[in-house]
């Protein structure tokens, strides 16, 4: 079972990817994890990626695809995997399709966790993080016992810059421009499935398991 998760930042695709990985005993693969592992282990691909990252540059698509394909060819991916945060663009998706096809493989499902922009802005704008221990809360879904104070360490709770409405809106604009076209790409490939991401996490996961099978 080879799955790719799609959805805007804050839609909850990472949470669902982890739940899929746990239920079906397949690896949850994010490009960030792949980069870190390759750099830490000093692999050739890791060294190449590091030269770009050290200069503050984006790692080129071909190299990212090489890293992903290298990862999905490892033994723990024999029964499948769930990709989270990749591909982000049409060129990445095309390169991944081509690289997998060269090995007689293909993705089985692209699952889009669909959440309207206004929900995401509200959802992320409600997050609060502790400056002391890093614990996270949500004013609506998981509020602290005392407003503005961390339950764990008593530290101050703040709204992080990347959760501010203007930052979230900017990230959503980039998503719609670059990543939204993947919806059409995977629809044409006949593997796109959409779930309603506005409902409770467990309800979203029920919809996902209905697609993937029990």
Largest CA distance in the chain: 56
Is residue 127 part of the annotated active site? The answer reads yes
Is residue 160 part of the annotated active site? The answer reads yes
Is residue 88 part of the annotated active site? The answer reads yes
Q: Which of 36, 160, 170, 206 is an active site residue?
A: 160
| Nearest-angstrom CA–CA distance, 48 and 46 | 5
| Nearest-angstrom CA–CA distance, 92 and 58 | 13
Q: Which of 88, 122, 164, 193 is an active site residue?
A: 88
Q: Which of 18, 50, 171, 193 is an active site residue?
A: 171
Q: Which of 13, 19, 71, 123 is an active site residue?
A: 13
In our burial notation (b when 16+ CB lie closer than 10 A, e otherwise), range 191-211 reads bbbbbebbeeeeebbebbeee
Q: Name the DSSP class of 196.
A: E
Tokens of 20: 């899929």
Catalytic residues: 13, 88, 127, 160, 171
């Amino acid at each position: 079972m080879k799955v790719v998760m799609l959805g805007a930042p804050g839609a909850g695709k990472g949470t669902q990817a982890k739940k899929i990985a746990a239920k079906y005993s397949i690896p949850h693969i994010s490009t960030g994890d792949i980069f870190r592992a390759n750099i830490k282990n000093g692999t050739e691909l890791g060294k190449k990626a590091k030269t770009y990252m050290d200069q503050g540059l984006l790692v080129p698509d071909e190299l990212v695809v090489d890293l992903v394909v290298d990862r999905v060819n490892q033994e723990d991916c024999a029964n499948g995997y769930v990709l989270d945060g990749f591909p982000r663009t049409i060129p990445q998706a095309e390169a991944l399709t081509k690289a997998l096809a060269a090995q007689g493989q293909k993705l089985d499902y692209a699952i889009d966790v669909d959440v309207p922009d206004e929900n995401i802005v509200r959802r992320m704008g409600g997050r609060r993080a502790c400056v002391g221990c890093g614990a996270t809360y949500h004013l609506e879904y998981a509020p602290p016992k005392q407003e503005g104070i961390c339950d764990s360490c008593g530290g101050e709770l703040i709204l992080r810059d990347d959760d501010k409405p203007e930052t979230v809106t900017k990230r959503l604009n980039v998503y719609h421009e670059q990543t939204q076209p993947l919806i059409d790409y995977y629809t044409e490939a006949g593997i796109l499935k959409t779930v309603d991401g506005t409902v409770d996490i467990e309800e979203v996961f029920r919809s996902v398991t209905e697609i993937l099978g029990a």
